[in-house]
Amino acid sequence: MKDLKEIILVLEKHNIHPLRYLSTMGGGKSKMLALYEGIAKDRFSSDEMAAAALYLPDNRTSSYRKLKSDLRDKLLDAVLTINTDGDQYTDYQRAYYDCHKQWLTVRFLTGQNANTAALTLANRLLKQASKYDLTLLCMDLTSYLRTQYGLRDSNSKRFLEANQLFERYHQEYEVESLAEQRYTALVVRVVNNRSAHEEVYKLAVEYYEQVEPFLKEFQSYKLNMYAYMIGLMRYTTLNDHEQALPYCEQALQFFKNRPYVAQVPLQIFSYQHLMSNIHLQRLTEAKQSAEVCMEVMQEGTFNWFKFKETYLLLLLRLRDYTTTAETLLCVLQNTRFEFQPDNVKEIWRIYESYVYYLSLLEKTISPVKGKKFRMGKFVNEMPIFSKDKGGMNIAILIIQFLALLQEHKYARVLDEVEALEQYMYRYLRGEETQRSYYFLKMLLQIPAGGFDAQKATAKAERYLALLKGIPAKLAHQTHEIEIIPYEDLWEYALISLQGNQR
């Protein structure tokens, strides 16, 4: 069901309705059209629901399975009719789609024995694919050309030229694959464990040393994109954003000099430039970086969601809570949100809980009207990051505590004290979680002070001094953990005690 909905969204984005002809035919509505519209309009959220609505119980399973398969075939056929010449596509994107369509034509003509036409098209296509760094396609094309010139035309000169080019592209493809594999291996390690800094740093240094020698020989898009991202992780895993900023600028300069618009790497390194400025508390520069990101980000892509994460953190540091709530709602209501990886969706649910807390303080409106933040349900919906004890689980524990405090559920707060103390002793003793450790110690002074604002302030004074002694830009913890600066959250916690919302 989910895969069909995703294809339908793509087709509707390009104003393609492959079953429109069925709606103009006489008689009752066809089951295929009913299934299509049910998925497109969110009336069917599961196969069981769709099958029950379209078929009687006795023939539900087999008939529905065939109907769904037929609809999938129709949708996939329609995908190939999408026009990629529009302004919403960069020259690189248009070339990518066009080149692969031409390659399909080459193979089809060859299968139909139109070899002369296929060979002419293949030679022309190779020039275009080479210009846009489509290495794998270039490798396929030169393999095809050497076969044609060697076996069909017996042209030794052209065969040797094609073979030499194949060996070149094959070597380039191998180093691209190496860089891709190394970067992917790093991401897999860190994506669900935001506290695995040292291990990932060491691997990033090792992997960059493996790929760096090839950068002088090959200028390809894919190799340099993955190599630069591996190199960047040497700094970001240790929160060394002073080094990350010039490195991002170096990467951006490389991709700006390509003979086409390299949108994806421009997005990636513009985004990191924004994130580093936020982490270094350079909010004016961060706003400028955000403006650049908005120009290169394509709505609904994975990188767009990552940009929105960082933009949200910037807005929270600027205390622009109204725009924060608007940004959150924009993301949660985006049609592509449900197709994001589970860890990405969890991050946004955590952000949602913080915006809900701000709405309790009357500093913004709730992003989803009438929706109540339920702590038990919220934690149960965090299977990934609830296990990340030295990482994002800290943010979950903090927002639980603050929400209980704001709602004056003091008995519940007291029930959490012992568990929090044990948690801190077990997981937050390292250098990378010092700010979180001191902030939780501050929060624990609230029940220790009998939920009296003045007593809590006095008891927490030394921990606040220690917290301020580690500015966020120097802390080693992952930046996402401190969703709202702890200094701000402490102010709001005291407001909750005073009952003086402002």
Residues 8 and 124 in one domain: no
Residues 48 and 103 in one domain: no
> CA nearest 51: which of 41, 66, 64?
64
What Cα–Cα distance (Å) separates residue 386 from each residue in 379, 382, 389, 467? 7, 6, 7, 24
Residues 27 and 159 in one domain: no
Query: How far is the C-alpha of 277 from the C-alpha of 289, rounded, in Å?
Result: 8
Cα distance between the two ends of the chain: 46
**Residue 159 falls within a domain, yes or no?**
yes
The owner of tokens 């409106």 is: 365
Query: How far is the C-alpha of 492 from the C-alpha of 467, rounded, in Å?
Result: 16
**Residue 354 falls within a domain, yes or no?**
no
Residues 74 and 91 in one domain: no
**Residue 374 falls within a domain, yes or no?**
no
268-283 burial string, b = 16+ CB within 10 Å, else e?
Answer: bbbbbbbbbbbbbebe
Domain end marker among 179, 213, 238 = 238
Residues 226 and 103 in one domain: yes
Residues 27 and 70 in one domain: yes
- Cβ atoms of 22 and 30 closer than 8 Å: yes
Query: How far is the C-alpha of 222 from the C-alpha of 267, rounded, in Å?
Result: 14
Number of domains in the chain: 3
Domain end marker among 57, 79, 101 = 79
Residues 220 and 168 in one domain: yes
Sequential pLDDT tens for the chain (502 residues)? 889 999 999 998 888 988 887 766 555 578 899 999 999 888 898 888 888 888 877 667 788 899 999 999 999 999 988 988 887 888 999 999 999 999 999 999 999 999 999 999 999 999 999 999 999 999 999 999 999 999 988 899 999 999 999 999 999 999 999 999 999 999 988 765 655 678 889 999 999 999 999 999 999 999 999 999 999 999 998 889 999 999 999 999 999 999 999 989 998 999 899 989 988 889 889 988 898 888 888 888 888 998 898 899 999 999 999 999 999 999 999 988 988 888 888 899 999 999 999 998 999 877 665 566 676 677 677 766 666 666 788 999 999 999 999 999 999 999 989 989 999 988 888 777 899 999 999 999 999 999 999 999 999 999 999 999 987 654 444 557 889 999 999 999 999 998 544 3
pLDDT digits (tens, 9 = 90+) for 231-276: 999 999 888 999 999 999 999 999 999 999 998 999 899 989 998 9
Residues 98 and 128 in one domain: yes
CA dihedral of residues 41, 44, 47, 51 (deg, nearest 10)? -110
Domain end marker among 238, 258, 278 = 238
Residues 136 and 192 in one domain: yes
Question: What is the crossing angle of helices 221-236 and 156-190, to 10°?
Answer: 20
Residues whose CB falls within 8 Å of the CB of residue 292, separated by 6 or more in sequence, listed in order: 270, 273, 274
Residues 214 and 115 in one domain: yes
CA count, 13 A, side-chain hemisphere, 101: 13
Residues 43 and 175 in one domain: no
What Cα–Cα distance (Å) separates residue 277 from each residue in 180, 230, 401, 419? 27, 20, 29, 36
**Residue 247 falls within a domain, yes or no?**
no
Instruction: Give the domain range for residue 52.
Output: 2-79
**Residue 304 falls within a domain, yes or no?**
no
**Residue 42 falls within a domain, yes or no?**
yes
